[in-house]
C-alpha cells in the first residue's frame, strides 16, 4: 500500500508520546497493590527452592538449577497477537501490569489482518469505528480501510504501546491446563516447553483457522488452489481461467479485484447474500488535518458512526419495519446494478436480511456482469483434475480455483484442549454448543478469560466496540486476582446457567434464528455465536463485575 508509511509516520501522537502516556499508570492504587501482590507471589511460589539452591553457592549446581528450574509464572498469559490479544496487552499496561506474555503462533502480529491479504480485503465497518477508541488514527485514508492499512494500524499499536517485548512469536499453544492447587494455568507449546500464568486470556480469534472445504476431488484438481486467507501473492493471474468458490464477505471482495486481471472468471455461488451499498470514499486532506488539530471532532464522528450502526440493529437483529426497509434498500441496489431478470433472481436471497452476515459492496454486481465473468449457481458436484464439475453435467476447465469459503468455526469446542478444574475438558463440555458467562468466563475454568467467546458476536456494529468492553471486564478480573490475592476466581455454575437461559430466550426472537443456515448456528441450530442485543446492551452487561457471581478462593 502506498499510504503505509504515511500512516505510521503521520500519526498525530508519535510513538514516544504515546508510550509516555502509557507508562503513566492508570491508578496509583493498582500499582501499589501490584507490588504487594508480587511480593506475596514471591513468598508463595516455587522461588523458595531456587533461593535455597543459590545458597549452596556452587557454580555448576547453579547452572544445573537454572536449566531445571521452572520459570516463574507470569501474571497473565495471552494467546494470540491480533486485535484482541494486543488490546488486552495495552489495557494491562495502562493498568500498570507488566508481567504478561503474548503467545503468538505466527511470525507477525495482526491476526485476521495479517492472514487476510487477498486482493480487495477490507473491513465492512468504517475505520473510525473499527479501531480502538483509546488509540485513534486521524490518518485513515478511506472511510472503509483495506487490510494493509488496518495491519499498519495494528503494528503502530505494538510500537506505540511498547508491546513487542511481551510477544513470543512462533509459540503455538497446543493446550491449556489448570492446576487447582496452585491456581495456575499452564500453556503447552507445540514445539515443547510451557508457560505458566496466574490467569490466561484466550484471544486466538473465532475465525483464525482456514482449510479447503470438504468438496469431492479437492485433492484431485491439478491446477492452482488458493484459499482467501492464505493468499499467494506470487501467483500471476494474467490470462488465467479462474474460479472463485464462495460469495460471502471475502468472495465478493475478491471478485471485483480479479475480474480485470484474468481471462475468465467463474463465480460459484451456493447462497446469495444480501448486499447493501458501501458509502466508501477517500478521506479528504482537510478532514485528516481537522482530526489532528481537534481530536474531539474525530471522537464526535466515532460517536455518530456508533449510533448509526446501533440503529441498524433494529433492521438486522430483529424483525421490524426497519428490516423491510433494509431489504428494500438492498433490492434497489441489486435492481440498479443488475439488468437481467434471471441474474437478479439468482442474486436475490430467500432469507430475511440479517439472518446471515449482511455484505457491503458497490463493485461486486458490476464485476459479475463483465464480459469475461459468469455467475454459476449450479451445485458443485466435484472437482476434477482439470476443473469443476457442476450438477448440470458440465465441466468448467480452470487454471486456478480460489476458495473464498470462510473459516473453520469451532462451533463445538476449542482450537486446542483446555482442561479446567478436576480435569474437565472444555471441548467436551461445549460439544453440543458453547456456553459462557457474559461471553468471557466459563464455570469450572477459573482465572480464564475469553475474548470473543460464546455469544459475543455483533451483527450490526464494530467488533472492536464489543472487544473494548471485554478487555475492561477481563482486566477487572485480572485485577481481582492480583489485588485480592486470589487463587481462584470461578464463575458460579448457577449464575452461568441463568445467564444462558435468558440469552437463548432472547436469541430465539432474533433474525439469526429465523430459519436460515449460517455459521452462527451449530448443526442443531444452537446459536453460540451472537449477542442478541444492541452494542449498548452488551457494554452495559460487561460494565459491572459482580463479585457475588464468582466463587473466590484465597491464595
Partner 1 sequence: MASIDLDKMLAKVKASQWALADIDWDAPGAELITDEQRPKLKAFMADLMWIEHVGARGFAAMARKAPNDTLKEMYTYFHAEEQRHANAEMALMKRWGMLDGDQVPEPNKNLRLVIQWLDRYSDDMPLEVLGSVIPMLEIALDGALCTFLLDTVDDPVCHQAFARINDDESRHLGVGFTVLEMQGHGDTYIKVLKTIATLMDPRLILGIASYVPLLNRMRDNIIDMGLGEERLYAAMKKFERIGGRTADGRRNPWYQIISRHGRIVINRRHKLYHAPVDAMVRLTDRIPDRVMPSRMPTWVKGITYKPVV
Task: By CB under 8 A, name the binding residues for partner 1.
Answer: 340-343, 345, 350, 378-379, 381-382, 384, 386-387, 389-397, 517
- Give Cα 554 to chain centroid, integer Å: 33
What's the grid cell of residue 304?
A: 455518530
Q: Do residues 77 and 185 lie in contact, with contact meaning Cβ atoms separated by under 8 Å?
A: yes
Q: 41 vs 380, which CB is nearer to partner 1? A: 380
CB of 521 to partner 1, least distance (A): 12
Q: 47 vs 391, which CB is nearer to partner 1? A: 391
Q: Do residues 550 and 491 lie in contact, with contact meaning Cβ atoms separated by under 8 Å?
A: yes
Q: 269 vs 414, which CB is nearer to partner 1? A: 269
189 DSSP β-pair partners: 173
CB of 248 to partner 1, least distance (A): 18
CB of 339 to partner 1, least distance (A): 10
Q: Do residues 384 and 220 lie in contact, with contact meaning Cβ atoms separated by under 8 Å?
A: yes
CB of 239 to partner 1, least distance (A): 18
Q: Do residues 388 and 396 lie in contact, with contact meaning Cβ atoms separated by under 8 Å?
A: yes
User: What DSSP state is assigned to residue 219?
Assistant: T
CB of 363 to partner 1, least distance (A): 22
512: helix, coil or strand? helix
Q: 378 vs 545, which CB is nearer to partner 1? A: 378
Q: Do residues 73 and 45 lie in contact, with contact meaning Cβ atoms separated by under 8 Å?
A: yes
Q: 187 vs 353, which CB is nearer to partner 1? A: 353
CB of 150 to partner 1, least distance (A): 36
Q: Do residues 354 and 511 lie in contact, with contact meaning Cβ atoms separated by under 8 Å?
A: yes
CB of 408 to partner 1, least distance (A): 21
What's the grid cell of residue 11?
A: 500519526
Q: 201 vs 383, which CB is nearer to partner 1? A: 383
Q: Do residues 97 and 90 lie in contact, with contact meaning Cβ atoms separated by under 8 Å?
A: no
Measured distance CA(273)–CA(260) in Å, rounded: 23
The set of residues, in sequence order, having a beta carbon less than 8 Å from that of 424 and lying 6+ positions away, is 444, 445
Q: 232 vs 392, which CB is nearer to partner 1? A: 392
CB of 395 to partner 1, least distance (A): 5
Q: 371 vs 547, which CB is nearer to partner 1? A: 371
CA distances from 315 to 6, 141, 504, 510 (A): 38, 29, 20, 10
Amino acid at each position: 500500500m502506498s499510504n503505509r508509511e504515511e500512516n505510521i509516520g503521520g500519526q498525530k501522537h508519535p510513538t514516544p508520546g504515546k508510550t509516555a502516556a502509557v507508562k503513566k499508570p492508570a491508578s496509583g492504587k493498582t500499582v501499589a497493590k501490584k507490588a504487594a501482590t508480587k511480593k506475596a507471589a514471591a513468598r508463595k511460589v516455587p522461588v523458595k527452592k531456587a533461593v535455597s539452591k543459590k545458597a549452596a553457592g556452587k557454580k555448576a549446581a547453579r547452572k544445573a538449577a537454572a536449566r531445571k528450574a521452572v520459570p516463574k509464572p507470569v501474571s497473565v498469559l495471552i494467546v494470540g497477537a491480533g486485535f484482541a490479544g494486543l488490546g488486552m496487552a495495552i489495557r494491562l499496561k495502562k493498568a500498570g501490569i507488566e508481567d504478561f506474555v503474548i503467545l503468538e503462533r505466527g511470525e507477525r502480529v495482526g491476526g485476521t489482518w495479517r492472514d487476510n491479504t487477498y486482493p480487495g480485503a477490507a473491513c465492512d465497518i468504517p475505520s473510525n469505528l473499527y479501531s480502538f477508541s483509546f488509540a485513534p488514527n486521524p490518518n485513515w485514508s478511506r472511510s472503509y480501510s483495506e487490510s494493509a492499512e488496518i495491519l499498519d494500524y495494528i503494528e503502530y499499536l505494538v510500537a506505540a504501546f511498547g508491546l513487542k517485548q511481551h510477544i513470543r512469536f512462533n509459540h503455538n499453544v497446543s493446550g491449556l491446563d489448570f492446576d487447582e492447587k496452585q491456581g495456575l494455568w499452564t500453556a503447552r507449546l507445540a514445539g515443547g516447553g510451557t508457560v505458566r500464568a496466574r490467569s490466561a486470556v484466550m484471544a486466538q480469534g473465532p475465525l483464525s483457522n482456514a482449510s479447503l472445504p470438504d468438496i469431492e476431488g479437492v485433492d484431485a484438481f491439478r491446477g492452482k488452489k488458493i484459499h482467501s486467507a492464505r493468499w499467494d501473492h506470487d501467483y500471476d493471474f494474467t490470462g488465467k481461467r479462474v474460479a472463485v468458490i464462495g460469495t460471502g464477505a471475502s468472495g465478493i471482495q475478491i471478485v471485483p479485484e480479479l475480474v480485470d486481471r484474468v481471462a475468465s472468471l467463474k463465480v460459484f455461488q451456493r447462497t446469495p447474500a444480501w448486499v447493501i451499498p458501501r458509502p466508501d470514499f477517500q478521506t479528504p486532506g482537510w478532514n485528516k488535518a481537522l482530526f489532528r488539530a481537534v481530536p474531539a471532532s474525530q471522537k464526535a464522528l466515532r460517536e455518530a458512526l456508533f449510533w448509526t450502526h446501533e440503529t441498524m440493529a433494529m433492521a438486522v437483529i430483529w424483525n421490524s419495519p426497519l428490516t423491510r426497509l433494509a431489504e428494500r434498500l438492498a433490492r434497489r441496489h441489486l435492481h440498479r446494478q443488475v439488468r437481467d431478470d434471471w441474474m437478479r433472481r439468482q442474486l436475490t436471497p430467500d432469507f430475511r436480511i440479517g439472518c446471515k452476515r449482511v455484505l457491503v459492496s458497490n463493485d461486486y454486481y458490476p464485476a459479475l456482469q463483465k464480459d469475461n465473468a459468469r455467475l454459476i449457481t449450479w451445485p458443485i458436484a466435484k472437482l476434477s483434475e482439470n476443473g469443476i464439475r457442476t450438477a448440470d453435467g458440465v465441466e468448467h476447465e480452470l487454471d486456478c480455483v480460489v476458495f473464498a469459503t470462510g473459516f473453520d468455526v469451532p462451533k463445538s469446542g476449542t482450537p486446542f484442549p483446555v482442561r479446567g478444574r478436576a480435569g474437565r475438558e472444555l471441548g467436551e463440555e461445549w460439544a453440543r454448543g458453547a456456553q459462557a458467562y457474559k461471553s468471557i468466563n466459563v464455570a469450572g475454568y477459573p482465572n480464564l478469560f475469553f475474548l470473543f467467546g460464546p455469544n459475543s458476536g455483533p451483527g450490526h456494529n464494530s467488533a472492536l466496540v464489543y472487544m473494548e468492553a471485554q478487555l475492561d471486564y477481563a482486566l477487572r478480573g485480572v485485577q481481582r486476582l492480583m489485588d485480592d490475592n486470589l487463587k481462584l476466581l470461578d464463575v458460579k455454575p448457577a449464575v452461568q446457567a441463568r445467564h444462558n437461559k435468558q440469552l437463548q430466550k432472547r436469541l430465539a426472537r432474533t433474525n439469526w434464528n429465523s430459519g436460515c443456515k449460517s455459521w452462527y448456528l451449530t448443526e442443531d441450530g444452537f446459536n453460540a455465536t451472537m449477542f442478541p442485543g444492541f452494542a449498548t446492551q452488551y457494554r452495559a452487561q460487561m460494565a459491572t463485575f459482580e463479585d457475588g457471581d464468582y466463587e473466590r478462593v484465597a491464595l
